[in-house]
Amino acid sequence: MKTMLQTIVGAGALAWSAMAMTPAQAADDTIKIGVLHSLSGTMAISETTLKDTVLMLVDDLNKKGGLLGKKVEAVVVDPASDWPLFAEKARELLEKDKVAAVFGCWTSVSRKSVLPVFEEDNGLLFYPVQFEGEESSRNVFYTGAAPNQQAIPAVDYLMSEDGGGAQRFALLGTDYVYPRTTNKILRAYLHSKGVADEDIMENYTPFGHSDWQSIVSDVKGFASAGKKTAVVSTINGDANVPFYKELANQGIKAEDIPVVAFSVGEEELAGIDTAPLVGHLAAWNYFESVDSEANAAFIKKWHDYIGDEKRVTNDPMEATYIGFTMWAHAVEQAGTTDVDAVRQAMYGQKVPNLTGGVAVMNTNHYLSKPVLIGEVQDDGQFDTVWSTDDVVVGDSWSDYIPESAKLTADWTYPWVCGNCEKPTY
């Protein structure tokens, strides 16, 4: 039989416990994730759709019961194409909103801006866009293409008989880390294929650049040397609209000087008169036109959610879908949103991609992905003209840059490192 003191103490403890648990229980009812994409500024043309994609995936997950029996809530912020603001908003998401993971960034300069914040606060960023590689962080999962999954296969195609047998290359990019580093890799790769510096032209322009007349004229002059010439474009954001218009104004056709783009997909083409661009190319890991059951289901879900059958899908949307699905599976597998546990559960995650294959998360935090080359059609879609037979494992460090070739990334034992010297045994 309890004494009076035991009863009083026990009742007090229960009352204290109830008061202490109330706020925690309220917080425990929801798992918050961050959405860190530009909804204004020069990159809004590309990033707004990715915000909508995450919201669709959250809505679908909640309809199926959420995660760990809890509702998932998306906390959306707008870093407004302002690179320092990305870091500020990332810190706010991690420290104030206490999000379990963040899905966001497009440009590499925005990713570089937030990287120290995620590493300092031990947060998780899922980055869904093609980029230059040359990075591996334990706090980032890279679901977009590395150069060996986009840029190098694209150049191989341009040099092939099917791609026109290009011998000269105009490398046109926006002036920031992704185009410059990608073109550094491509220049080294072209050298390995016997292409001389005199047959490589490089030009960089600011974000939002609109006056392309002289640059396109320079490309025409560069192509007049009697060798088949191709343009490799790492132009980002809304600068693509006047660039392609100027190509048409100066009569540049795909059969004469083909352009292969790494940052132009269905979303960007929706704002361009594509008739003069038919035959120009893009290299991605997904096209909306891919004929697969998984893709048809994804497109239907997108149209149902967004309420507009004219809204297109694109490669970064697929990368967002893969990253989000893998994260949800890893949380369920780990039984917690704890970052260290989820990170460990991410390794080896497999999710059906939308092209009919399977995406795999590797221990360097890069995906295995197929590579597709598509030609622009007059309806704003792409016709796939070439693809890899199987998925390609993303390289975190390029074999064509000497200081990178000796590095490896493996975030599991014994090589818990993003830039270790490769083991010699």
* Whole-number Å distance between alpha carbons of 330 and 33: 14
Question: Six-digit token pair at 290?
Answer: 């891919």
Candidates 3.40.50.2300, 3.40.50.1460, 3.40.640.10, 3.30.300.130; CATH matching 27-146+292-370? 3.40.50.2300
Q: What is the pTM of this model?
A: 0.89
Write down the pLDDT at residue 1. Answer: 40
Parts of the chain belonging to CATH 3.40.50.2300: 27-146+292-370, 149-284
Please say whether the beta carbons of 396 and 137 come within 8 A: no
Q: How many C-beta neighbours within 10 Å does residue 206 have?
A: 11
Over its length of 425 residues, how does the chain's per-residue pLDDT go in tens digits?
444 334 433 444 333 333 333 333 345 799 999 999 999 999 998 999 999 999 999 999 999 999 999 999 999 999 999 999 999 999 999 999 999 999 999 999 999 999 999 999 999 999 999 999 999 999 999 999 999 999 999 999 999 999 999 999 999 999 999 999 999 999 999 999 999 999 999 999 999 999 999 999 999 999 999 999 999 999 998 888 899 889 989 999 999 999 999 988 998 888 678 887 889 999 999 999 999 999 999 999 999 999 999 999 999 999 999 999 999 999 999 999 999 999 999 999 999 999 999 999 999 999 999 999 999 998 999 999 999 999 999 999 999 999 999 999 999 977 788 988 876 54
Write down the pLDDT at residue 4. Answer: 38
C-alpha torsion angle, residues 40, 46, 52, 53 (rounded to 10): -150
CA-nearest of 364, 414, 416 to 149 is 364
Q: Alpha carbon 162 to chain centroid distance?
A: 28
Q: Strand 168-174's sheet: what is its strand order?
A: 200-205, 168-174, 229-234, 259-261, 281-284, 372-376, 382-387
| CATH code of domain 149-284 | 3.40.50.2300
Write down the pLDDT at residue 424. Answer: 56
Write down the pLDDT at residue 276. Answer: 75
Count of positions (residues) in the chain? 425
Please say whether the beta carbons of 356 and 287 come within 8 A: no
What is the per-residue burial (b if ≥16 Cβ within 10 Å, else e) of 78-104? bbebbbebbbebbbbbbeeeebbbbbb
